[in-house]
Structure 1
Amino acid sequence: MLKDQTMSVVLDGSPLKAMQSSHTHTAQTALSGQELSQEIKSFISGIDTVQGRKLSVREHARCAVRLLRSVPACRGAVLEHLRGVYDEHVSAFLHNLETESDASSGVSSNLEDIIQEVHGVLSEFICLNPRAWAPLVSTWAVDLLGQLSSKHAGRRVAPHSSSLNELLQLWMSCAATRSLMEAYSQSLAAMLSWCPDACVDALLDTSVQHSPHFDWVVAHIGSAFPGTIISRVLACGLKDFCSHGAKEQGLMVMVGDKGSRVPKIGSVVGILGHLAVHHSDSIRKELLRMFQESLSPSSPLSPTSSSTSWEGSPQLRRAAVPFLLQLAAMSPNLFGAVSAELVELLRPPVLLQLQALLQGLPREELDNMLGLAVHLISQSPSGGSRVLRFLADTATPASVIISGPTPSPHEGVREGCDRLLQMLLLHLHKLVFNRSDGAEVNPHHPALSQPKRLIPFLEELQSHVGELCAQTLRLERKRHLWLHQLLCLLSVYGGPSVATEALCQLLTQAHNPEELALAWQLHTTLSSCMAGLIPAAVSRCVAQIHTHTLGPRQLRQLLLNLAAAIESQDGERRGGAAAGVQASMAIQMGSAVSGHLHDFGPLLLHGDSAVSHATVRLLSCSPLPRASSPAHLLLLSRAAVTHFFMGLRRRVESGKVGRDGGQACEAVNCSVVLLSRLAAYSPLTLKAVLQLLVEGALHKGNTGLFGGQMADMSGAPLPSASVSRDIGASLLDINCRFGTVVNFSGSVWSVFHAGVIGKGLKVRTETQLPDPSGVMQNVQTLLTVVVQCCSSSGFDGSINSSRPPSDPGEPLAINAEAAKVIAVTLVENVCPDVANGGGSRTPGPLLLLSRAPRPPGHPAGPLGGLPGDVVHRRPVAPPGLLPPGVLHGGGPAPASGPGQRARGLPPPHPLRGETAAPGRVGVRERQWAHAPEVCLQLRKGAVLQGFLSRR
């Protein structure tokens, strides 16, 4: 009976050709019939038929090798026996490593030559007849590798399964496993041209059974054949996915119960995950190619195409998209690798193809796919903003102008994206409000508390709050509702920091009341779970101002929005109880802004007039704080007064050029309100505002606003800088170089203030007189603000209001202390000598003395009996005579007192001037005199002339 079985194996028709080829190639191993019969009996019984003893492991293995060479039909039995030989070698190899003995001794050394001989025989057969031997050897080798990896995974010298590099080094140093790996690689290379699926199927089956101990094999094979393994693993996984789905519910995709329904998809995920470390680009391209191929119309297979290619099967093409969704759900890394390019790939034609593909699916299966897509989006760690923008753009209804009366050709696509977006918002709402809070779970043991579950989609969107707010403010149909709801969820998920950033962005970017209302809606939604949101948002806005992150246009819009929020309080009060919530928010906004008045105050002097106008509007309507630093109050008062005069000047300039002066007039009105409220705040601010107003009105830079003109020492109006030409001469510079320039000996010198020698006299230009109506308006505005400040109740404790008269026709009551402040300030600025009479007098301007020709008829004798080289000083220059500062003295005359003209003295002579009073103190030649006007005379007919110096 044994002989019959042996002959049937020998005469098997399928391996006969390989057997004959092997005999012709290795004639030296040919055995006779009797020897062949003895080898078969020895292999089956394990006993040497000649000597009658039991064969050793090495002898039994060599007998199997001889049978494999001589009778290839025995390959199944021989390969099964060789499993034990390989296992024996691996056990000895690991034992030697554990005992730290010499790896070249013992059983391992006796079996290693057998392993090499077996590998040589198998390699030879694969080369001679790959179609017969490659599928068999690949399946045997990969299955044996899986068994050996799982069996010896618990050995002490075996690394952990997660350490792929260490595992790979260990197993590749073993002759048995290295031989099996090389045999499988040779078989796979031989089958690539005609049937790679059989080899990859064996790899997937083994990976399912022996993962994760088998992962090192997958990593090594994938690195050797990346392109082939990736494409064939996906194809085999698709076929298995389709077959398992068809058995129960068609192509239904389920997130749970993956292992029982789709057994190979887990192995596909594992293999691609290992390959993604070094071949992520190839995986991404193959996944996108599978998606595109599944949507394109099917075509007949080309002669070069594989008969097992999935592209030719309509059933597999319909299952490709659900398969890819399932694959992405099981591996977030794979989804993250393709999500960015997948969104760019979903153009209108592709969306139409996808819609056509999914139309034939049952309703329940389609709902499952949408749920899986929502789950994928919410768990996507990157590209969330791009996915959100795509869904919002696609789901937004087309305008009437674009679509017209006929339905849009993409209406089905729009409805699908609309439904997907609504399901996403609902899913995110459940995730945000159902997260476990560790503090509530275990309040007594914080170390054991569980952190809140992360939502990758919202985590990625936290860095795009500004962009999300900008998209929300577009106020497009349905779009801003979706994005506003998402903004609320993101604020709740991210906490106060994200909520503050979102509210600050809305306050900065809103351009009209409708857009600004979205900020109040966000606050209304978040106020139930967050406190102090408005003060935090205002503080963040102030921080943006300090860091100069906002441009002038954005800064202006932010200030106007804050002002509009505070001003809405008055309108809401008139609106009744329905506007009570928004009125309370306006009160909170005003209170928050009042705490940062010292931060907004410097913006009154901003170089951009629009920013300064927005600032004064905000400060004029915001309440003043209950308590504030005196330094902050004084700085704010100075900035407000300076802005007031700047506003008057801009109003005049807008009237000259014919522009619309509405904004300038509004800025002046807001300045008046702000100054009135500052004056009513406290005695300190009242005094500061009034002093600054008087000083500003008397300042030479503001004389033109109230009808005055700037004049030089001679009383002539100064030309504007744009009219006068620069001759390169400065009287101040010349006076500063007195010792090197002025020479009193020699010829006559020119009069400095009249011109420069060689360049002629100064050109007298006609100055433009100010507009009388504008001057009158400015004077009236100045008087109005002064009267309002004087009539304010700053001295009786009121903070944020002025006290109006009981009768509208009755003039405002002037505060006595305020009037005193104005009087004192006027005296200090107009008559400093009187104001400072009790103290030391500040030295006045200095006089530089030089020689000039004596006018005709001028007396040569000294005046008043004083020496001839003494300069007589007078306090006031006579009007209508020579220019101020140059007075020619006359004869001596009696006087009733120092500096006074005698009674009955005739009027001053038109040429000689007024008679000098005797007994006055004078200065000598080449000295500096402290007086604004002088009467000068020297002997020998020379008259000294004085010039004001700014030293």
Structure 2
Amino acid sequence: MSSVMHAADGNHAALSDLRLFLAGTSSYDSKIRASDVAQAAIRLLKTLPVAREAVLEYMHNLFDDAVSRHIARLDSDESVPSVEERDVEDVQGVLSGFIESNLSAWAPIISGWSLELLGHLTRKYADRRIVHSGLAEVLQMWMACPPTRALIELTTKCLSTLIDTNPDKCIDTLLETSVQHSPHFDWVVAHIGSCFPHTVIARVLACGLKDFVSHEDDDGAADRKVPKLASVVGILGHLAGQHAADIRAALVSLMQQSFAANPTREQLATIPFLLQLASMSEHLLDAVVSEFTRVLSADTLNKLSTLMGKWESAKIPGTRDLLSLTVILIVQSGSVDLRFLSQILDIASGESEFSSALLPAVPSAAGVVLDNVLLEMQQRVFAGVAEIPLLSALEARLGDLCGWLRHTRCGPRTMWLWNALSLICVHRKEKTALTVLSHLLGRIRGSTELLFFQALIYQVEVVHVNCLMHTISHLMAELQSGRVPNPTQLVENLKKLSGNSHVGVRVSSTVCKFAQVLAEQMQASSDLTYADAVAELLSTSVQPETMSATAVVKVVAAAVAYFFAIVCNPTHYGPSRKYTAACVCFRLLSTLCSRLVAQHLALRNLLSGALDHKVSWRFGSRPRRSSEAFLRQPRFVHLLDENQKFATSINFPQSHSSIVRVGVIGSGLRSVPPPPPIADEEVALNKQLLLEAITACCALPWRNDRPSPARTSPVGGMKIVALLLVEMISSDVMFNGLPWPDEDFLKVTIERDLHIQAMFVDHPILWDLLRLVASVRPSLCYCSVLLRAVMAVAMTHWRNCQEKAAASSPKHLDTTRTVLRIMSLGQLLPPAMNSLGEVLPLLSPFEVFCVLSDVWQYMRNNVPSPALFTHKNPTTGELWREFKTPTADLKYLERLRAIMISNIQTCGLIFQKFFSVDT
């Protein structure tokens, strides 16, 4: 009985709710509150199944009103929630309860209703506040609206249960609704897709492919029952942030399906469809390019080449513009890894790892694509397009680009890369061009790459006129700060460019401005190969007349230091290489010495360096103190014992009673360590190189690696050499004049004369230097003090010598003969005395002294003055001394005549060289 009464009460309540619902939804009773009608509708949905459609239609209007009021409130900046929003929350709670209580019955109904309602609402209110917003902004706007948020939550809850049992029907329903309300419904698909990414992405791509295939090349009408590409791109773009891996997997799956043995029309259209998608979204472009690069293989490329012929026959949309679309996508793919471009270059040039397995059409097609890419970039560059992604990517990966250049043989790949570099330089500002050119100039190798670089310069200078000079200036600054990775290669490239007929003059003039930087590099570097390259570059680039005095001085110092580096490193410089490097140094010194300050400094540094004890042994010099004690094992002696020896001795007034030693006890003064052994041939070569270096500083036959029109006279330079020799050898500044004093005056200068003689003994190179000075008349006149000192020591020796024949003192005899020959070469002695050296070995020591005494008298009476020399050949600047008549000088040979007559048995053969036999 109670159950019957309870049923009757339920029927009565349902009837009351029905009457209230009908009255509230009708227009004849306006006193009923909307909230009461909404509660009645909710109860009817629970208790009266036959009223389900009417109730859902009412709820449709309820949600519509709630959305309208929400948007109106946004326009008026109100924040108080409406009554409809509270009713919407109640409806959401009831519908969620239905889904949870009876999933299989309610989920399809509620999901279909909510999707349709969402489509209606998004279309109806799309033009209120979100007309020009993107998908992300639209999604944020609708999710902030309580009614639509409630609907999307209901839809997601329904689909989460249906996706496992019937995913195709579920997603198809979603996409069909999307088609009807696209593109306003895309945010719903994007949000649901983020909840079920794998399924939604695959279905969205499949529906997009179906829509793409439905479009014919003749622009026929499209089937409106499938999503448009813009919607597909928007949905996938929204999902790309969190579900990029799922999108990439779906793209790869589509690509692999297109390579089926007997593809359908949709499968044939996969590649064009993916390219079309990539053209509409940067995220999809990155995904397509990266995945295609990953799956690239010979088999894939061969299959792709066979598909190209089928696209036109199958009337796949976009086939006719596929090449231009591909080119544009490559140009736009700046943010993608450049491996894709590298692989295309490899394929086109036949350098790919699977080139041997490719069909002939594949490399040809790759070459066509690359040519069109280059043409497209060129058109954009000269059209003034601000941003070209591929060029920007290449500029950012300049190191990789140069690496490609170094590791490829000359061919299409190389040409393409150089043209791309040219476009980068032309398109960007001069700063970018300088970066590119500096990077290349410091790294390119070989003559072929240098030719490409010169061609690049010609193209870039059309836009950036002074780019080459600015590039060199920038590189010199980098070189000075030590930021150039391979300075030797940079200098080698600059050296080759300086010899170019078109840009050589500009390169040399720019390098000359930074000659000081290069000189510092040459002196500071321990790399002799680098020093060789810098010296050669300077020898062809320096222009002393345009350089500051500071720069000239530093370059001269570096050049002289380089010369001694050549001499002191025989392991690096073999005989032939040493001479070649020395010739470069001669050319540099000769060019620099056109400035007087450079000539003085170069000659001083050369002479002082040749006499320095660290280097002089390479020119045959020997230390003054014998090195025998150094080789001998020193005897151990106590200094105390040495002092005690004086205890028993007699101390004389003003005598020392102790010993202070500065040497090795028991072994005398400390000996100079002997120099390393050196071959006579090497010494002879080093001497010859030093003499040629001095000659190059005095006579200037080179001018920037070219012979001068007229050889400069060496007289002025050799005069500097003579004066420097006097300064460095003579220890006294007094009595260094040209006149020769009386023989009695020799006792005043004996100490200085012995010092000078010791210098000639220790440094045999001085005799060679005197010969060089004597060969350029009248320079030997300024060395008069040196000749006097050697002659005075020789006269003293021969006067006191106890030997029976002069030949018994070979060293002194050789010194005497050498000084006489040098005086004759310098025309300080008359022709009658030119052969004195031949007779000296036949005489006794005192007779030699008598002959030298007569020579001294001649020099005393005939001062060796440069004024006695006149120009013999004005064109060459050679000077010559005209002596008096031969009879005028015979008075100085009278004693020689008597000596030779007394020794006629030995001197008879050479008597006629001095005297006439008839007289």
Alpha-carbon distance change, 366 to 431 in structure 1, aligned in 2, over 3 angstroms = same
Q: Which residue of 1 aligns with 2:729?
A: 830
| 2:700 is the counterpart of 1:813 | no
Q: Which of 690, 698, 704 is 1:782 aligned to?
A: 690
From the two aligned structures, give the one with the greater helix fraction.
2
C-alpha displacement of 1:208: 6.7
Q: Which residue of 1 aligns with 2:492?
A: 560
Corresponding residue SS for 2:387: coil
Q: Which residue of 1 aligns with 2:769?
A: none
User: Contact between 2:487 and 2:530, CA under 8 Å: does it hold in 1?
Assistant: yes
Residue 695 of structure 2 aligns with an amino acid whose one-letter code is V
Q: C-alpha deviations, 1:159-188, integer Å up to 9, x for none?
A: 9986468536622xx2x3333122211222
Alpha-carbon distance change, 71 to 396 in structure 1, aligned in 2, over 3 angstroms = farther
Q: C-alpha deviations, 1:453-505, integer Å up to 9, x for none?
A: 21111111112223323423533332111212212112111232333333333
Q: State the TM-score, normalized to the length of structure 1.
A: 0.67
Q: Which residue of 2 aligns with 1:329?
A: 279
- Within 5 A, what are the aligned runs for 1:488-507? 488-507=422-441
Q: Which residue of 2 aligns with 1:390?
A: 343
| 2:623 is the counterpart of 1:706 | no
C-alpha displacement of 1:339: 2.9
CA RMSD of superposed structures (Å): 5.1
Q: Which residue of 2 aligns with 1:278?
A: 242
Q: Which of 522, 525, 547 is 1:604 aligned to?
A: 522
| 2:345 is the counterpart of 1:374 | no
| 2:139 is the counterpart of 1:221 | no
Q: Does 277-286 or 641-650 show the bigger shift?
A: 277-286
Q: Counterparts of 1:279 and 1:29 in 2: how far apart (Å)?
A: 56
C-alpha displacement of 1:683: 1.1
C-alpha displacement of 1:127: 3.5
Q: C-alpha deviations, 1:49-103, integer Å up to 9, x for none?
A: xx99886645655565566556657655543332111122334456667778885
Q: Which residue of 2 aligns with 1:268?
A: 232
Residue 663 of structure 1 aligns with an amino acid whose one-letter code is R
Residue 537 of structure 2 aligns with an amino acid whose one-letter code is L
Q: Which residue of 2 aligns with 1:454?
A: 387
Q: Which residue of 2 aligns with 1:715?
A: 626
Alpha-carbon distance change, 745 to 192 in structure 1, aligned in 2, over 3 angstroms = farther
Q: Which residue of 2 aligns with 1:288?
A: 252
Q: Which residue of 2 aligns with 1:852?
A: none
C-alpha displacement of 1:532: 0.9
User: Contact between 1:159 and 1:166, CA under 8 Å: does it hold in 2?
Assistant: no
User: Contact between 2:259 and 2:304, CA under 8 Å: does it hold in 1?
Assistant: yes
Q: C-alpha deviations, 1:601-654, integer Å up to 9, x for none?
A: 12333211111111111111224154222111111101101111211233x446
Q: Which residue of 1 aligns with 2:861?
A: none
| 2:448 is the counterpart of 1:514 | yes
User: Contact between 2:516 and 2:551, CA under 8 Å: does it hold in 1?
Assistant: yes
Alpha-carbon distance change, 161 to 528 in structure 1, aligned in 2, over 3 angstroms = closer
Q: Counterparts of 2:211 and 2:553 in 1: how far apart (Å)?
A: 81
- Within 5 A, what are the aligned runs for 1:672-751? 672-680=586-594, 682-711=595-624, 714-716=625-627
Q: Counterparts of 1:29 and 1:194 in 2: how far apart (Å)?
A: 40
Alpha-carbon distance change, 240 to 63 in structure 1, aligned in 2, over 3 angstroms = farther
| 2:362 is the counterpart of 1:428 | no
Residue 813 of structure 1 aligns with an amino acid whose one-letter code is S
- Within 5 A, what are the aligned runs for 1:591-630? 591-605=509-523, 606-624=525-543, 626-630=545-549
How many residue pairs end up in the alignment?
Answer: 741
Corresponding residue SS for 2:464: coil
C-alpha displacement of 1:766: 7.7
Q: C-alpha deviations, 1:226-280, integer Å up to 9, x for none?
A: 33333333233223333x32xx239x9x9xx999998522122222222233333
Q: C-alpha deviations, 1:341-396, integer Å up to 9, x for none?
A: 43232122322333344341118954422222211111123135322211101111
Q: Counterparts of 2:560 and 2:333 in 1: how far apart (Å)?
A: 57
Alpha-carbon distance change, 743 to 381 in structure 1, aligned in 2, over 3 angstroms = farther
User: Contact between 2:426 and 2:433, CA under 8 Å: does it hold in 1?
Assistant: yes
Residue 596 of structure 1 aligns with an amino acid whose one-letter code is F
Q: Which residue of 2 aligns with 1:249?
A: 217
Alpha-carbon distance change, 207 to 752 in structure 1, aligned in 2, over 3 angstroms = farther
Q: Counterparts of 2:237 and 2:152 in 1: how far apart (Å)?
A: 21
Q: Which residue of 1 aligns with 2:360?
A: 411
Residue 590 of structure 1 aligns with an amino acid whose one-letter code is S
User: Contact between 1:472 and 1:483, CA under 8 Å: does it hold in 2?
Assistant: yes
Residue 514 of structure 1 aligns with an amino acid whose one-letter code is T
C-alpha displacement of 1:429: 1.2
Q: Does 690-699 or 617-626 show the bigger shift?
A: 617-626
User: Contact between 2:212 and 2:273, CA under 8 Å: does it hold in 1?
Assistant: yes
Residue 591 of structure 2 aligns with an amino acid whose one-letter code is R
- Within 5 A, what are the aligned runs for 1:196-235? 196-201=167-172, 203-204=174-175, 217-218=188-189, 220-235=191-206
Alpha-carbon distance change, 633 to 210 in structure 1, aligned in 2, over 3 angstroms = farther
Residue 523 of structure 1 aligns with an amino acid whose one-letter code is I
Corresponding residue SS for 1:342: helix
Q: Counterparts of 1:611 and 1:645 in 2: how far apart (Å)?
A: 15
Residue 678 of structure 1 aligns with an amino acid whose one-letter code is L
C-alpha displacement of 1:129: 5.9
- Within 5 A, what are the aligned runs for 1:68-147? 68-69=45-46, 75-76=52-53, 78-93=55-70, 103=80, 106=83, 108-109=85-86, 112-114=89-91, 116-118=93-95, 120-121=97-98, 126-128=103-105, 130=107, 133=109, 136-147=112-123
Q: Counterparts of 1:698 and 1:645 in 2: how far apart (Å)?
A: 12
| 2:429 is the counterpart of 1:477 | no
Corresponding residue SS for 1:531: coil
Corresponding residue SS for 1:701: coil
Q: Which residue of 2 aligns with 1:445?
A: none
Q: Does 458-467 or 334-343 show the bigger shift?
A: 334-343
Corresponding residue SS for 1:832: coil
Q: Which residue of 2 aligns with 1:841?
A: none
User: Contact between 1:328 and 1:334, CA under 8 Å: does it hold in 2?
Assistant: yes
Q: State the TM-score, normalized to the length of structure 2.
A: 0.69
Q: Counterparts of 1:673 and 1:97 in 2: how far apart (Å)?
A: 87
Residue 554 of structure 2 aligns with an amino acid whose one-letter code is L
Q: Counterparts of 1:462 and 1:632 in 2: how far apart (Å)?
A: 37
Q: Does 100-109 or 469-478 show the bigger shift?
A: 100-109
Residue 519 of structure 2 aligns with an amino acid whose one-letter code is G
Q: Counterparts of 2:756 and 2:349 in 1: how far apart (Å)?
A: 82
Q: C-alpha deviations, 1:142-201, integer Å up to 9, x for none?
A: 32452465376479xx99986468536622xx2x33331222112222331344345445
Q: Counterparts of 2:735 and 2:644 in 1: how far apart (Å)?
A: 37
User: Contact between 1:559 and 1:615, CA under 8 Å: does it hold in 2?
Assistant: yes
Residue 498 of structure 2 aligns with an amino acid whose one-letter code is I
User: Contact between 1:562 and 1:618, CA under 8 Å: does it hold in 2?
Assistant: yes
Corresponding residue SS for 2:350: coil
User: Contact between 2:646 and 2:658, CA under 8 Å: does it hold in 1?
Assistant: no
Q: Counterparts of 2:755 and 2:66 in 1: how far apart (Å)?
A: 129
Q: Percent identity?
A: 27
Residue 378 of structure 1 aligns with an amino acid whose one-letter code is V
Q: Counterparts of 1:336 and 1:779 in 2: how far apart (Å)?
A: 70
User: Contact between 1:146 and 1:206, CA under 8 Å: does it hold in 2?
Assistant: no
C-alpha displacement of 1:110: 5.7
- What runs of 5+ residues in structure 1 fail to find an aligned partner? 1-26, 299-312, 436-451, 569-582, 807-811, 839-872, 885-898, 910-951
